[in-house]
Amino acid sequence: MWLPVLAVTAGLAALTVGADRLVLGASALARGLGVTPLLIGLTIVAFGTSAPEVVVSIVAALQGNPDLAVGNAIGSNIANIGLVLGATALIAPLVVASGILRREFPILLGATLLGLVLLLDGSLDRLDGLILLAGLAALTVWLVVQSLRGRGHPDRLGVDVEAAMPARMGLDRAVTWLAVGLVLLLAGSRILVWGGVELAGALGVSDLVIGLTIVAIGTSLPELATSVVAARKGETDLAIGNVIGSNLFNLLCVLAIPGLLAPSAVEMSVLMRDYPVMLAMTVLLLLLAAGLRGPHRVQRWEGALLLGLFAGYLILIGWSAAA
């Protein structure tokens, strides 16, 4: 079993480095073309860290493993809230000063409910995928409009993104890093999917379980790295905005991919266990960070709560797989 484990490890490492280089190159390229820091933060940074999930889902669906792709999308969202935000909040309380982020919370809840409605018939087909992609297109337009409205009135997220951006680089170097990131993502995803499928067979568990756990946690590493670094620098809006944007992208793009490329039935455990957990974690995040009572922030003890819930979810999966 050592070869699949080595493949999974190498694949995750390539995906993490590839996502970092992709975001760096794309952000520098956009900055060189005159795109505002706010729009870079709302789209390239948040969506770019979901690039591993996208490429892994494409490869898994094309190779006939749609359950791994579905598990990757749902498991990544759970990991982003429980693991990434939980760990980040332990480093520094996550204050949400950005008005745009506060408006994104109900959008994330709406996208989560949309995905649930589409899966209730027990299948994920091409129509479902097209509906989700239409939602992604509408979200992108909304983000562009919000960034244009923010010109002259800087949003806190845009300030954080500008502070976090590396020094300007030439367009040729930016394109080079972009290409390197894409190559690493493609290579890493192929290795990871092969290793994950082989590991599932060796352990006697389903592709869905591997997607929900090893692959989901691994592909969330870019979000974890970005959010932790941002929190340590006091850029808490960037830390939480990265996760919100990534979760939206996972729901509206990553989940759409297996429906478009490999329509199939959805395992009942997704509807009975995994999707309800993702919905509950999303609602909890909204209650904690949207500030229905008190300040708009996620405190350290709340971060510990999110981490504890994520650990409990992993235990639940392990118990279900062993039953």
Q: Could you tell me the two tokens for 282?
A: 């999303």
CATH class of residue range 46-155+204-322: mainly alpha
Q: Is 42 exposed, middle or buried (0-12, 13-18, 19+ CB in 10 A)?
A: buried
Q: Are 74 and 278 in contact (CB under 8 A)?
A: yes
End-to-end CA distance of the chain: 22
Interhelix angle 2-32/171-203, nearest 10 degrees: 160
Query: What Å distances lie between residue 288 and 89, 303, 307, CA to CA?
Result: 12, 10, 14
CA gap 209, 230 in Å, rounded: 31
pTM, entire model: 0.88
Domain ranges (residues) in the chain: 46-155+204-322
CA gap 194, 22 in Å, rounded: 23
Q: Could you tell me the two tokens for 165?
A: 């951006």
Rama region for 125: left / alpha / beta (φ>0; ψ in -120 to 50; rest): beta
Higher-pLDDT residue of 220 and 119 is 119
DSSP H or E stretch at residue 53 = helix 51-62
Residue 173: the pLDDT is 82
Mean per-residue pLDDT for 234-241? 77
- For the segment 158-178, what is each residue's pLDDT rounded down to a tens digit? 666 666 666 667 778 888 888
Mean per-residue pLDDT for 123-147? 92
Taking 80 as the threshold, does the pLDDT of residue 49 lie above it?
Answer: no
Q: Are 158 and 309 in contact (CB under 8 A)?
A: no
Radius of gyration of the chain (CA): 18
